[in-house]
Amino acid sequence: MTSYRSSEQELLDLPRQDTETEIDLGTLWRGIRRQLPWILLTAAILALGVYFWSRLQPPVYEASSSLITTGNGNGNVGSLGGTLVTAPPLPEGALQEALQGPVVLGEVIRRVRTDTRLAPEVRSELADDLQKELRQRKVTTIDLASRLDMGGNGIYTITAQGPTAQAATLLTDITTEALLNWDKGRALSNVERAESGLRAQMTEIDRQLNSGSVSGLERQTLIAARATVERNLAQAAIQAQGTAGSLERVAPAVPPLRPVSPRPLRNAVLTGLLVLLLGGGIAALRTVLDRTVRNEDDLLTFGLPTLGVIPRLRKRDIVFNGIVRAAREAGLYEAVGFLRVNLLTRLGNQPGQRVMISSTSPGEGKSSLTATLADGLSTSGQRVLIIDADLRRGTQQEVWDKYEREHSWCQLMGVGGARTFQDALRNPENVQVMQAEPNVHVLPAGPGIHDSLVLLNRLDLGELLRQWSQSYDVVLVDSPPLLALADGLVLGKHMDAVLIVAEAGQTSLQNVRQVLRRARGAELPVLGFILNKVAVSAQEAKLYGYGYAPRVKEAR
């Protein structure tokens, strides 16, 4: 038996490489590209949904007006020396608080309810929304933005929204007037306090004059003081008419020409872009966190070659045609051809060499790949025997029944005898094999059994396999997964080469590492890997040559 364990096998003794946690941009892009059709479909569906949903939403119009303020207003009315009284400058944020309070917003609500220029349903809708916002202390229908310098000079911009252009314009103007009235009321309150103080002085002077206990000189002084207070009261009344706040309107609101929302096209585009970014991010994260075998580069870290890369077949083709015929018609001819050439190059020309094909776990396609490889070897004139050594769940009989229902049997050893691998182990002198196709014979596993190790632990198992291999160029042994059962470790000791099948995107790197560790411990001649069920695009198919496979018409 020839051993193919090279010095590269020593790499398996090294500690876990840091490269297993690295991921390059090419791998990242391939991971995103695999999910790209679903990402694009989801983005398109959600974008269309948002587009039509936006078109069903009622329109919202927006109008704005501006107020100018200066920080050097004179609010001192103590001397009453001027004819114009202005309110003191507003501190930062005071106007915003006033807008959200019951004084200003309450006036806005009252005026909206009584404004006959609006339709009744519009008045009711606006007033109810504003009343709700007042209770929640979170005004969104009306917005106030400020641009002020360090001295308090600048501009306030009032923006209001409404269901119609007229409603938005009127609400903006009403809010602007309510703010101006509130600001003017601040200046008027100063004058009113001054008037109140002067009237209190007048009352006290009159009380002293009417008491009768003042002297003549004191009486004259009180009369003069009363005259001064009367003049100040008259001046305060005049100033009350000329009070002004620190705010001044720049221009009234202008009716908008078009609504600010909804914008179906903009919303759809933004939704599509957001889904693309989110989907791409999730796909990239899954690729980064993916610790499965994705491509040949992932297997290079184990120091063994990848002999073949087999693309994924459609399940529908396999169900209706069987794996062998589906592989031919789907263009796997060249893919299997590369595997065949690589395998024969390493095996050499010595006939009767035994190659075990196994995997890490069930479902990675080792049985189907064994049948496909046997079909490829037979096309090059090689006589192939397939031994289904998976005594628990053998599937080679089912694989070839899909290819041809009626099979003929030929003699492998002796006369008549066993037609399954388990029976052949019990009676190895008389064995028959099924002719699956020209140059391909199959020894099925037989019905599943649980004590398979009892049959395999024969002292003469190697000699039996050698005798059965004499009439063939290559013997392919389909073994159970190496992580599932110990059967493969027993069989592998009698093989010339062992191939490990890894399914792209499913087989974990940890499982591959564990299989190689077990194989090394049992001294199995592991030759390399076969990467199975690889999802390839049309362009990649041409690069691999899959698109040039000949069409083989089968007789049905």
Tens-place pLDDT, residues 452-462: 888 888 778 88
Residue that has been written with the tokens 């008491």 in this structure: 211
CA 352 to chain centre: 53
Report the run of H or E that residue 442 belongs to, with start and end: strand 440-443
Higher pLDDT, 386 or 545: 386
- What single DSSP character describes residue 254? -
With b for 16 or more beta-carbon neighbours within 10 A and e for fewer, the 220-258 pattern comes to: eebeebbeebeebbebbeebbeebbbbbeeeeebeebee
Residue that has been written with the tokens 């501190």 in this structure: 91
> Is residue 23 scored above 60 in pLDDT?
no
66 phi-psi bin (left φ>0, alpha ψ -120 to 50, beta other): beta
Residue spans of beta strands (DSSP E) within 6-151: 61-69, 85-86, 142-148
**pLDDT > 90 fraction of the chain, expressed in percent and rounded:** 40
Burial label for 551, CB within 10 Å (0-12, 13-18, 19+), is exposed
Strands 61-69 and 154-162 turn out to be antiparallel
Residue spans of beta strands (DSSP E) within 149-242: 154-162
Q: How far apart are the first and last CA of the chain?
A: 41
Cα 503 from Cα 406, distance rounded (Å): 31
Burial label for 93, CB within 10 Å (0-12, 13-18, 19+), is exposed
Cα 220 from Cα 148, distance rounded (Å): 54
Give the angle 152-154-157 at the CA atoms, nearest 5°: 125
| pLDDT winner (highest mean) among 93-102, 106-115, 189-198, 401-410 | 106-115
pLDDT band at 304 (very low <50, low <70, confident <90, very high): very high
pLDDT the model gives residue 150: 79
Cα 301 from Cα 529, distance rounded (Å): 12
CB neighbourhood size of 212 (10 A): 7
pLDDT, average across residues 5-10:
42
pLDDT the model gives residue 329: 65
CB neighbourhood size of 409 (10 A): 12
> Is residue 4 scored above 50 in pLDDT?
no
Q: Which domains are delineated in the chain?
A: 7-17+301-548 (3.40.50.300), 18-57+262-291 (no CATH), 61-187+244-251 (3.30.70.1130)
| Single-letter residue type at 550 | P
8-17, 50-59, 507-516: the lowest-pLDDT one:
8-17
Cα 105 from Cα 233, distance rounded (Å): 34
pLDDT the model gives residue 5: 42
pLDDT, average across residues 456-484:
90
Cα 263 from Cα 94, distance rounded (Å): 34
pLDDT, average across residues 458-487:
90
**pLDDT > 70 fraction of the chain, expressed in percent and rounded:** 84
pLDDT band at 234 (very low <50, low <70, confident <90, very high): confident
pLDDT the model gives residue 552: 43
pLDDT the model gives residue 24: 63
> Is residue 332 scored above 80 in pLDDT?
no
pLDDT, average across residues 111-134:
92
> Is residue 27 scored above 80 in pLDDT?
no
pLDDT the model gives residue 450: 83
Question: Contact, 310 vs 335, CB < 8 A?
Answer: yes
pLDDT, average across residues 527-533:
92
pLDDT, average across residues 50-59:
93
Residue that has been written with the tokens 């206990």 in this structure: 213
147-161, 310-324, 408-422: the lowest-pLDDT one:
310-324
pLDDT in tens, 338-377: 899 999 999 888 889 999 999 998 888 898 899 989 988 9
Residue that has been written with the tokens 């001192």 in this structure: 76
> Is residue 244 scored above 80 in pLDDT?
no
Of 503, 495, 453, residue with least CA distance to 478: 495
pLDDT, average across residues 2-6:
43
pLDDT, average across residues 391-406:
83
pLDDT the model gives residue 54: 92
Question: Contact, 286 vs 31, CB < 8 A?
Answer: yes
Strands 408-413 and 526-534 turn out to be unpaired
Higher pLDDT, 63 or 11: 63
Sheet strand arrangement including 408-413: 306-311, 526-534, 497-503, 353-359, 474-478, 384-388, 440-443, 431-437, 408-413
pLDDT the model gives residue 556: 34
Cα 109 from Cα 143, distance rounded (Å): 15
> Is residue 77 scored above 70 in pLDDT?
no
> Is residue 497 scored above 90 in pLDDT?
yes
pLDDT, average across residues 184-205:
78
pLDDT, average across residues 383-391:
93
pLDDT the model gives residue 520: 92
> Is residue 209 scored above 70 in pLDDT?
yes
When the pLDDT of each residue in the chain is averaged and rounded to a whole number, the result is 82
pLDDT band at 288 (very low <50, low <70, confident <90, very high): confident
